[in-house]
Amino acid sequence: MYVVTAEEMRRLDRETIERLGIPAVALMENAGRAIAEEIIKLCRSRSGSAGSPRGDAGTEAAGTAGAGGGEGIKPPGFTVSGDNALALGGADAGHWLVLAGKGNNGGDGLAAARYLREAGIAVTLVYAAAPESLAGEAALQRDAAAALGLPAVVYGRDRVDFAACSGIVDALLGTGSAGAPRGAYAELIAAANSSGKPIVSADIPSGLDADTGQAHEPCIHAAVTVCLAFLKRGLLQYPGAGNAGQVVVRSIGIPAALAREGGVPVSLLTPEVLRTRLQVDVSRRRSPEGHKGTYGHVLLAAGSLSMSGAGLLAARAALRAGCGLVTWALPAMLLPHVIGAAPELMLAAAGGENGTWSAGTAAEVLRLSTGRDVTAVGPGLGRFADDQEWLRALWEGIAAPMVIDADALNILADSDYSSWTSRCHPVILTPHPGEMARLAGISTAEVQRDRIGLALAYAREHGVTLVLKGAHTVVATPEGEAYVNITGHPGMGTGGAGDVLTGIIAGLLAQGLNAAQAAAFGVYLHGLAGERAARQRHDPSALIAGDIIEAL
Ligand SMILES: NC(=O)C1=CN([C@@H]2O[C@H](COP(=O)(O)OP(=O)(O)OC[C@H]3O[C@@H](n4cnc5c(N)ncnc54)[C@H](OP(=O)(O)O)[C@@H]3O)[C@@H](O)[C@H]2O)[C@@H](O)CC1
Ligand SMILES: Nc1ncnc2c1ncn2[C@@H]1O[C@H](COP(=O)(O)OP(=O)(O)O)[C@@H](O)[C@H]1O
Ligand SMILES: [K+]
């Protein structure tokens, strides 16, 4: 599933209209119908009649519906069914307010209003601006609604009774919105939010930045957002993702092929995207003849006296991710204490005698990395004298992919690593927002302001695969593509969860996945395992990092 900016969306709209010759109003009709269908679905689920509604009398009259249930197989008969998607199926019809802006987002809402009326739902149009100010397709929708006799009021001139309605369609502002909502728009958004009524937003909640996910003041709090054609970046990024409610992406006649051909760089990380865009074998088939040598060997340089557990978590996660062998290099003093903690691991003393790392251990890590398929560094590493020289020696000397996490990222942030000899093998960086802030030399708040945009830019500029962790982790590649993950949950905000991810990604790299595949699939599996682990406990907040490994 493609994820677009407002600008990309406008380009795809234009191409559909100008190159394919589909009239703009046809797209708007499809949008209106999709919005109405989702509202009807919401009405049905709220009134408990979620089952497929029967259409016209024809279906029942044919006498063939309801085969099964012990009645045996009935012979096929003549059937007719209605447009079930636009039928209330016994749900309370209610009365909806349609808040319409003067742009095309408003036009979508006006088209939806006609379909709602068709389904038997009473609608009142609430214009944010004088109806005469609407233009183009939105004006056409205004006139169609008027010709049909849909009641309409103008905000500021007429009274709007929010208390009496059953729900609100937010068609005030869409991808053409700029800055914080002004005037009547702001007042309508505030009134809709405080009404307590369910709000269904057309395309994006009004007041949301469609690209960054920043919520202006005020911004609609939607129960459902019917996103049109392609998912907008702002709906995936917090806080916007929190304002959107349940997001449904509906097709309106803009072919996905246009996004593909047009090089839209961002996708939602789904099994289908993993299979098709990233060509990952998500079934993780193993050859019947496979042996531990087939599945690769991870070297992990991690752990120190106060953070040995980080190394252990990463090492165990790499094994659970399916690699053949894991060697954990750690400070010599720790080694006797972790023997047996995970009998499947191989241990190698590489650090200083006092349980910490030292610059002089780089030579030993380099030696250990020979013949290993991947080296992961960072979990529980700590900082030490001349650690920049240490990391530089590994960066320049390890002839295999590297995963760099935790304190190794902080070392990198303190280094001018663009001046280091460039590597022939890929690097995956896995920062959380705080580490990302140090790497990019900005504040954490600035990192969170547009995670997708930042990840794309940083990965391209530095030639690395970047895993920007946190809710909706972004994986960005040096080639300028990005994948946004939505597996996982806030219960995974627990010490060591990131170390587990490092191990998973390293384990996948060892099995021959390329950097983008290992990062994306690793992030996806990590979130999925977190979900599964949470289900096994009574509350997601009880999750600890080790549970994620066991759920892999
Ligand atoms: N064929 C198509 O094009 C398709 C379009 N589609 C739909 O159209 C939407 C995009 O429509 P759009 O480009 O007309 O912009 P839209 O979001 O309605 O807002 C523009 C209006 O808002 C106003 N305004 C702006 N900022 C403001 C603020 N802060 N506070 C107050 N007012 C503000 C601005 O007024 P101005 O500032 O220019 O006076 C202008 O009048 C898209 O999200 C989707 O729903 C889809 O159905 C697919 C087919
Ligand atoms: N709200 C959330 N939703 C989904 N995943 C989350 C959420 N909070 C944290 N995570 C995931 O948990 C992991 C935490 O990693 P990190 O902060 O590096 O922890 P640590 O350094 O303790 O190992 C990351 O993979 C992150 O994406
Ligand atoms: K909207």
487 CA closest ligand 2 atom index: 4
Nearest residue (by CA) to ligand 1, atom 1, is 24
Task: Show the tokens assigned to 229.
Answer: 């054609």
H-helix or E-strand containing 80?
none
Number of H helices, E strands in the chain: 20, 19
Strand partners, 96: 123, 167
pLDDT at 56 over 60: no
Task: Name the closest ligand to CA 108.
Answer: 1
CB 462 within 8 A of CB 279: no
Q: Do domains 2-49+85-264 and 272-282+292-550 have the same CATH topology?
A: no
The finding on whether 205 has its CB within 6 A of some atom of ligand 1 is no
Q: Hey, where are the domains in the chain?
A: 2-49+85-264, 272-282+292-550
For residue 184, the CA-to-ligand 2 centroid distance in Å is 40
> Top-level CATH class of 2-49+85-264?
alpha beta
For residue 432, the CA-to-ligand 2 centroid distance in Å is 7
The tokens 């990604």 sit on which residue? 505
The finding on whether 488 has its CB within 6 A of some atom of ligand 2 is yes
pLDDT band at 58; cut points 50, 70, 90: very low
pLDDT at 248 over 80: yes
ipTM above 0.85, yes or no: yes
Ranges assigned E (strand) in 94-239: 95-100, 122-127, 152-154, 167-171, 199-202, 224-228, 231-232
- At 471-507, the pLDDT tens digits run 999 999 999 999 999 999 999 999 999 999 999 999 9
pLDDT score, position 313: 97
- Report the alpha-carbon distance of residue 154 to residue 102 in Å, rounded: 12
Average pLDDT estimate for 34-46: 95
- Report the alpha-carbon distance of residue 527 to residue 143 in Å, rounded: 49
The CATH classification number of 272-282+292-550 equals 3.40.1190.20
356 three-state secondary structure? coil
* Residue partners of 108: CB distance under 8 A and separation at least 6: 28, 31, 32, 35, 171, 174, 202, 203, 228
pTM: 0.93
